[in-house]
Structure 1
Amino acid sequence: MTTVHRLLDDAFAGVEPSPEVQDLKEEIRANLEARAAELQAEGATPDHAARRAFDELGDVRAIVADAQADVAAETGGAPRTALQEAFVAAQQHRVRPTPRFVLGVVLASVVLVALVAMCLLTPLGVVALPGYVVAALLLTAASAAGFVVGLSLSQETTTNHPVPSRRAGGYYLATGLTVLALLLALFTVLGIFDAWMYVVAGAAFVVGGTLFTLLGVTQTNRKKAWVRDVARAHATGHHYDRFEHDPAAAARFGVYTVVIWLVAFVVFVVLGLTVGWAWSWLTFVVALAVMMLVLARMLFRSTEEQQKK
């Protein structure tokens, strides 16, 4: 079977390896996989999609040579395709992670895993930590998870501009609340907390999910200009982001989402007090499914619908 990975490895077989070449190879791989996925969505087979994406790419060795040369001095060369321009720009403007960012993410991840593992020792009978200690450790672990997400979004990458600090903080809070809700529910099932903790977990999940939704529907396209240009070159005939073109639809979806989760929380509490907390959490699964259906219905508009506008 022909795949992007095999074709890319064959294309780079005669290229002298170096850190810069490897970075460019991974950048090309990501773009080719995205393009092949688009072609498969249009009905192409995986083999045909991979080969067509490579045909659109052109000569890989020429791209590597262009990326390693001073582009400013190449005014007399043959014009490059949109994909080739994107790869050259990716090589020129590659953003490497700072040591502080790497250290922060690694430490936060270690803290997250270590605290959750420590809490799991209680239901396993290895240690007997009080409930409030377990809750405090889980809160810290959830905060670490949110820190990883927020810090990652606040970094500029090869493809995207950094998210503003306040918005990254919003993702930190939303992630922390969602992870905390899942951890509290898990340890309540394991018998560490009383049943009322389901209410706390449900409230945290509702707030976190609502915050995620609000952040998502208000997110703007923060990709660099040269990435947007390449994306627009392949946008013809595909579905488009309705929320980006119709702010009113984004606002309606935000209202629908808040209503869905408020109703879900009320039903969760009612079922917990009547039927029992063991099954009432399924309310949130249903609410999530409803929200995804509403999102799928509102977010995208087919090509035929676009042509009718």
Structure 2
Amino acid sequence: MNTDIHRLLDEAFAGVEMTPEAQDLKEEVRANLVARVEELETSGRPSSDAARQAIAELGDVSELLGEQTDAAPARDSYAAMQLRHRVRPKAGFVVRAVVWSLVFVVGMTVAVLGATGALPLPLGAIIGLVGFASNGLALLVGDSLSQETTTNHPMPANRAGGYFLATLLGTFGLGFGVIVVLGAMPLWGIVFAALGVIAAIILFAFLFASQTNRHKAWVRQAQHEASHVGNRFEDEPETAARFGIYTAVIWLVTFGVIVALVFTVGWWWAPLAFVGGFAAMMLLLARMLFAPAKS
């Protein structure tokens, strides 16, 4: 059992008048901190580091007790809370991120040069370079997701590994497609490209669908407090109704333009009308959904 957390909690409450309310709060905080320390230890943190991090995430206990000073604002801004809970990236991760990025860029660049004939490389070497580059990008994604950030707890290793595999399959599949397009590989190679991309899409879809919330408690609280700010569709039903009407008009006009283009200048112009209608709808949504911040 980690005893550091109890000592650090006593130090955090030093100087606080232990009223019944303060004592109740301290015990509630203690239970939350113990659970947080166990979570950090499960992810591989040493006991002492886990205790210190849990206390750091707690912040100033006087704010929990409502003892705001005259110099402090009644409520921290989101930027201030980010600064207070900031987690600096580990030096080892920064070095690894640079290495994985170089592996991807160098491997893919040399592979493309070989596929275009700029470098005299055999097909096997080109495929190997694509795999080399794909591993670099996949390691960058998996390693990044397994790191703790200011707003998120670290992703479990097995789930980060899933994103590693999905990225590897997708990048390798796209790399095969590039080799085929550049003419360095017969057309049947597109089968491998399709298999890699489809497998990546399926795996990514599963990971996204089963993803749980990794936000830290202070982020969830801030999001809850701001969840209804500026959402005009919830606060103003008449605005939502107007948006529905405008959207219907935009798409009716878009389909009318598509039909006109198909029967006049040719069907290849039709996608431009579709893109224009989609862009108009997105601009309308951005304009109508989010109200200006109220002072």
TM-score by length of 2: 0.54
Matched with 2:7 is none
Q: Within 2, Cα distance between the matches of 1:85 and 1:71?
A: 15
Q: Deviations over 1:183-210 (max 9, x none)?
A: 1101110011111110011011111000
Matched, 1:224 2:216: yes
- Give the aligned length: 171
Matched, 1:138 2:130: yes
What displacement does 1:88 show? 3.5
Q: Which moved more, 1:185-194 or 1:119-128?
A: 119-128
Amino acid at match of 2:151: T
What stretches of structure 1 of length at least 5 have no aligned partner? 1-69, 241-302, 304-309
Q: Secondary structure of 2:187's partner?
A: coil
Of the three residues 104, 115, 122, the one matched with 2:96 is 104
Q: Secondary structure of 1:122's partner?
A: helix
Matched, 1:126 2:83: no
What displacement does 1:121 show? 1.9
Q: Within 2, Cα distance between the matches of 1:76 and 1:111?
A: 51
Aligned positions of 1:148-187 closer than 5 A: 148-187=140-179
Matched with 1:66 is none
TM-score by length of 1: 0.51
RMSD: 2.4
- The structure-2 alpha-carbon separation of the partners of 1:235 and 1:76, relative to structure 1 and needing over 3 Å to count, comes to closer
Larger Rg: 2
Q: Within 1, Cα distance between the matches of 2:79 and 2:113?
A: 49
Q: Secondary structure of 1:228's partner?
A: helix
- Answer yes or no: is the 8 Å Cα contact 1:86–1:226 preserved in 2: no
Aligned positions of 1:1-309 closer than 5 A: 71-72=60-61, 75-77=67-69, 80=73, 84=76, 86-236=78-228, 238=231
What displacement does 1:174 show? 0.5
- The structure-2 alpha-carbon separation of the partners of 1:226 and 1:167, relative to structure 1 and needing over 3 Å to count, comes to same
- The structure-2 alpha-carbon separation of the partners of 1:220 and 1:115, relative to structure 1 and needing over 3 Å to count, comes to same
What displacement does 1:85 show? 5.2
- Answer yes or no: is the 8 Å Cα contact 2:148–2:154 preserved in 1: yes
What stretches of structure 2 of length at least 5 have no aligned partner? 1-58, 235-288, 290-295
Q: Secondary structure of 1:77's partner?
A: coil
- The structure-2 alpha-carbon separation of the partners of 1:123 and 1:136, relative to structure 1 and needing over 3 Å to count, comes to closer
- Answer yes or no: is the 8 Å Cα contact 2:179–2:185 preserved in 1: yes
What displacement does 1:73 show? 6.0
Q: Within 2, Cα distance between the matches of 1:175 and 1:106?
A: 18
Q: Secondary structure of 2:104's partner?
A: helix
The share of aligned pairs that are identical, in percent, is: 35
What displacement does 1:81 show? 5.4
- Answer yes or no: is the 8 Å Cα contact 2:116–2:184 preserved in 1: no
